Amino acid sequence: MNHQTAAIALVNRLKFKHLALLVALDDARNVHQAADAINVAQPSASRMLSDIEQAFGFLLFERNARGMQPTSLGVVTLAYARRALAELTRFAEDLDVKRRGGHGQLTVGAIMGAAPDLLALAVATLKTERPLLHVRVLGETSDQVVQLLHRREVDLALGRLTNPLQHNEFSFEPLARETLLLVVRTQHPLAQQAHVTLAELMAWPWVAQPISSPARVLFEEELARAGLATPVNLTECASIFATLQLLEKYDAIAMLPESVVRDHLRGKLLVALPLEIGKSLPGFGLLTRKGEALAEPAEHFVSLLRRFSQPIKPASATPTHAPGDIASVPPLAAFTAD
């Protein structure tokens, strides 16, 4: 059987239900749970997996006492299954929107630092121009939005590349820079301090993003340069909303984008500490899949992002400020907490 004949045979045997099973197995690593996820009986799921592996001509999973682990070829196949299923799901949703008289849909992945300013302006303008366009915004951190883009669950993303090899898969266009602040609640003993050092902050509780985020990487690099260890009392939290809630409940410290905490500072719910921590990193920007044209709504949205974005300039030092003074807080790092 030549390569073309084998490919045709594979296409003829595979069904989208098979792809749904593969994605469910990848998530659960258990046949019974995967069968429940796609609403089939376990024996049927087992037969389907056997048929799929026979169609491919190799095992997709190794079965052992710890469950099911993808083989090396299985990892590649599962990634394709996830992308194909996401593409079909989004196509079906878009078709349904148009069938009901809508004007299609746009799904955007975005870091929280981009949401209050650039993203909000672009989405508000887009919805004013096209009120029947269905818009969805997903994600919070760069590692999340890059994964959404990889899985084809979003049309485009606002964020950053999170590892050196991702430029092979995604195009990146810088759009804006964001200042980070160290913030505490107004009742915090440090809130009225005119001067603090990084070493003095280590004894306090911290709320930080997961180590996979650029902001957390920066934080750890700053600690290393200062000869300090990671705070012992540290809570990892990928959700900006949950982080804000935690800050209001007890005397913790967090590093967050100025655009996210701006209203909390003005409302005197939080206070910015007078400490600069870090240098500028590249600004966040537009992420798209390489070699893939954007649909017209996405192209128009990109034009709006470019219109509202600010040219990225080198970060400059600012003078020491009074505690909680938003306008004169020294920039911790000119990029978002993504």
The pLDDT tens digits of the residues spanning 288-313 come to 999 888 988 999 999 999 999 865 55
Instruction: Provide the percentage of residues in the chain whose pLDDT is more than 90.
Output: 45
277 CB-near residues (< 8 Å, 6+ apart): 180, 182, 198, 219, 222, 255, 332, 333
Please state at what angle helix 42-56 crosses helix 3-13, rounded to 10 degrees.
170
pLDDT bin (cut points 50, 70, 90) of residue 85 is confident
Give the type of residue at 230.
T
d(CA 9, CA 93): 29
d(CA 297, CA 274): 43
Residues 80 and 91 in one domain: no
Residues 148 and 286 in one domain: yes
In this structure, are residues 110 and 145 in contact, taking their beta carbons and an 8 Å threshold?
Answer: yes
Which CATH number fits the domain that encloses residue 112?
A: 3.40.190.10
Residue 59 lies in a domain: yes
d(CA 131, CA 125): 10
> Where in the sequence is the domain holding 94, given as residue range(s)?
86-177+282-308
Residue 313 lies in a domain: no
- Name which residue leads in pLDDT, 83 or 43: 43
pLDDT of 213 reads: 83
Residue 142 lies in a domain: yes
Residues 298 and 231 in one domain: no
Which CATH number fits the domain that encloses residue 262?
A: 3.40.190.290
Residue 205 lies in a domain: yes
| Token couple for 271 | 């206070």
Residue 231 lies in a domain: yes
Residues 96 and 212 in one domain: no
d(CA 249, CA 21): 43
Residue 64 lies in a domain: yes
pLDDT bin (cut points 50, 70, 90) of residue 3 is low
pTM of the predicted model as reported, rounded to 2 decimal places: 0.64
In this structure, are residues 149 and 286 in contact, taking their beta carbons and an 8 Å threshold?
Answer: no
Which CATH number fits the domain that encloses residue 69?
A: 1.10.10.10
How many domains does the chain fold into?
Answer: 3
Residue 316 lies in a domain: no
d(CA 335, CA 210): 17
> Residue 4: how many CB atoms within 10 A of its CB?
8
Residues 191 and 264 in one domain: yes
